[in-house]
Structure 1
Amino acid sequence: MKIAYLLEVNPYINSGIVKKINAQVKEWRKQGNEVYICVLWPRKKENEKVYLQGSFFSNTILDRLVPDGFVKTYLTKMGSISRIASYLKGINPDVLYARQNIWYPGLTGVLARYNTVLELNTVDFMEMEFYSTIKKKVYLFGKNRILGAVKGLVAVSPDILRFYEKYKKEYGLKSVVVSNGIKLADFHRKKKPVDGEKISLVFVGSKNMKWHGLNKVYRLAERLPECEFRIVGYEGKNYKNVSFYGWTNKEELEVIYTRSHFGIGSFDNHLVGKYVDSTLKVREYLAYGLPVILGHWDVDFRNSDFVFKATDKSGNLKNIRAIREFMQKYKDYTVSSEEIRIIESSVKEKERLEFFKEIVSN
């Protein structure tokens, strides 16, 4: 198949999303497909690295004159979509794959021209409650337009897909759940905490994402004063048993992972409608051998002993004794690659490619 991938993500940060995209593309090509990547994002600055390879589309004037932020990226998309359209016309892909994102003028015409499959990563109308009024209004204004222009939906969780049942019926959309995967071969090191150190837990998140539940991480730290909590992705003043590392590069993060006993997943995903999810950071923790404490059920590890759901149905932290018992049992446990083979990206991408074939055949 000839697959075009329309990307509207920051290619200058080696985020979990970017890592996932690179693994997807690598696997699609490995399985014999032609893949063309279209990156719609402002031009990089001198000191920035590029973590995605493909054809880049931006606007020179906007790059030079408009400050970074939502307005700049939105205008970049508006000003570049016509060139994307011309580029895709020359390729004529069998499938156009796009990640769930905001509508802008010119987008739906491009999506409707091909067998477009949309990847759903969130319950959008719930997540939009945490964004600015203008972003929320533009997103919701264009949501139906986008859904009416695509042929299929791939959701990373069944909890996400259930909110799209009415759109599936209205627009005759096919759908499938393919939970997030990770390229296990890219992870060569496993946890190896220093003997005699306190039990340590690492949490990786991003600011302004309330569903990550950082407040509950703090609460857990208060209730577990004998443990050390390492917070990555946030700036803050270290206190008691909590240390902040801000944004780290891969090498720095790997050191933190390998010196930790546990990974902490999101605690408040229920705020955006996800009681079952397949977050990328949980997969990364597991790939480094870390057992995980989180606030939701994981699609692939609901019955795994090394993944512990630490919240009740209301999203509140469970009795601290149960959490301590889990930690005592698994603090020296290293999750093996064999135990998490289900999240190998080659397995997940085979499922996704089969869905692409189904879309093309219809």
Structure 2
Amino acid sequence: MRIAYLIHWNEGPDSGVFKKIISQALTWKALGHETALFLFSRGTAPVWGEAETGGLPVFREVYHDRLGRTARFKALSAQVRAWRPDVIYHRFDLYYPSLPRLLRDYPSVLEINSNDVGELALEGGSLSPRRLYHLLTRGLVLAAAGGFVFVSGELAEADGFRRYVKSYTVIGNGIPLDQFAAGQERGEALTHDGMEPVRFVFMSSPGQAWQGLDEIARLAAAKPDWRFDIIGPERAELEAAKLQAPANLVFHGHMTRERYQPLLDRADLAIGTLALYRKGMEEASPLKVREYLANGLPVIAAYRETDFPEPVMFFLQLPGEPENVIRHLSAIENFARYWRGRRVEREHVRHLDVSVKEAARVAYMRRVAGERKRGNSE
């Protein structure tokens, strides 16, 4: 198949979404499918060069202000058409007038990564112009798609999507495990002299209230003998919420993987999303948690994991509620005591690999394309 991957994204190689997109597309190529990236981004966004994309072709259209977006997206749509794909795979985002027609004219699949309505409410308030625009137009995009890939079963059942779905599959996020084979062998014990603090690591994009940075601050205050390395968010985020950052909460800001990898190597445990309930969600498959597990790190989080429907020893699931880390501090202490100096064995996370995920995704795209072809011949 010729797969056109259509994306609106403004970040470069350091972002988790970029890494996901490239690993997906390269796996499709390895599976024998011709793949091209069609990127819509701000003029100031990083350029996706061949070195970063593994040689995948990138067709890019840039915009510089809101007024020019419609015309530039129409130009990108024309590039997709000129490439003549067998299927369009689109990471669901915002409506542009040329998008629904493009999705109807070709077999198309939308990837749904989040409860978009709840997320926008958190980011900008219920009456923000961006949210109102999205609420008025999102259905036009959703109704035009031929199929859907949801990253969690909960999203597939959400009222905001269910009315538009003709066909769907659920595929949790994956990760190229072979990129994390170097360094400490997963499953081997770490060495401790008994004097070092228990070390936690947390990675996130700034300004995402559902990640629960405030909860981590409460945990750090309750356990001053533990150390917490925070990658991404800055101390000012807590200060804006009128919360104090304990001395054992160490903010590193934005870091490339090359710079943050030593923090993962030294960590005993990792922290996932702690306040997903703020988006009205209970289930997810976050990219950062896959990276933690690829590094052999056990995880503390507060949501149901799509790829671990049954309890596993290396994932401590807290309830999705305010102050969950304080209410369940003894469970966290026991979890940390058991896992300190240990690593999650690779065999337990093998099903998270992109080779498994993308084989299922390509099979679904082929199915959607086949159904479209049969429908046109009838």
TM-score normalised over the length of structure 2: 0.86
Moved over 6 A (4+): none
Q: Closer, same or farther in 2 for the Cα pair 1:13/1:141, shift >3 Å?
A: farther
**Deviations 1:198-243, CA, capped at 9 Å, x for gaps:** 1010111122211001111111111211100111102227742110
User: Partner residue of 2:291?
Assistant: 284
User: Partner residue of 2:370?
Assistant: 361
Give yes or no for the alignment of 1:322 onto 2:331.
Answer: yes
Identical aligned residues as a percent: 29
Tell me which amino acid in the other structure corresponds to 2:203.
V
User: Partner residue of 1:225?
Assistant: 224
| CA distance in 1 between partners of 2:363 and 2:48 (Å) | 34
Tell me which amino acid in the other structure corresponds to 2:226.
C
Q: After superposition, where does 1:210-359 map in structure 2 within 5 Å?
A: 210-236=209-235, 239-301=246-308, 302-311=310-319, 316-317=324-325, 318-359=327-368
| CA distance in 1 between partners of 2:112 and 2:59 (Å) | 23
**Which of 122, 128, 141 is the matching residue for 2:114?**
122
CA contact (8 A) 1:189 1:288 kept: no
| CA distance in 2 between partners of 1:86 and 1:3 (Å) | 15
Q: After superposition, where does 1:149-168 map in structure 2 within 5 Å?
A: 149-164=144-159, 167-168=161-162
User: Partner residue of 1:201?
Assistant: 200
| CA distance in 1 between partners of 2:94 and 2:251 (Å) | 32
Structure 1 residue 314, shift from structure 2 partner = 6.6
CA contact (8 A) 1:180 1:280 kept: yes
Give the aligned CA root-mean-square deviation in angstroms: 2.2
**Which of 100, 104, 120 is the matching residue for 1:108?**
100
User: Partner residue of 1:69?
Assistant: none
CA contact (8 A) 2:276 2:320 kept: no
**Deviations 1:305-332, CA, capped at 9 Å, x for gaps:** 0111133567733431111011000111
Give yes or no for the alignment of 1:189 onto 2:196.
Answer: no
| CA distance in 2 between partners of 1:296 and 1:91 (Å) | 41
Structure 1 residue 104, shift from structure 2 partner = 2.3
Structure 1 unpaired stretches of 5+: 64-71
**Deviations 1:255-309, CA, capped at 9 Å, x for gaps:** 1111111110010112213212110000001111111011112112342101111
Tell me which amino acid in the other structure corresponds to 1:111.
L
| CA distance in 2 between partners of 1:82 and 1:48 (Å) | 20
Q: Closer, same or farther in 2 for the Cα pair 1:252/1:172, shift >3 Å?
A: closer
Q: Closer, same or farther in 2 for the Cα pair 1:116/1:49, shift >3 Å?
A: closer
User: Partner residue of 2:57?
Assistant: 54
Give yes or no for the alignment of 1:140 onto 2:135.
Answer: yes
Aligned length: 348
User: Partner residue of 2:374?
Assistant: none
Q: Closer, same or farther in 2 for the Cα pair 1:335/1:270, shift >3 Å?
A: same
Structure 1 residue 167, shift from structure 2 partner = 4.8
**Deviations 1:172-209, CA, capped at 9 Å, x for gaps:** 51011000000000112347576442101011112221
Structure 2 unpaired stretches of 5+: 237-244, 372-378
**Deviations 1:39-60, CA, capped at 9 Å, x for gaps:** 1112357x8775445334334x
Structure 1 residue 157, shift from structure 2 partner = 0.5
Structure 1 residue 354, shift from structure 2 partner = 1.2
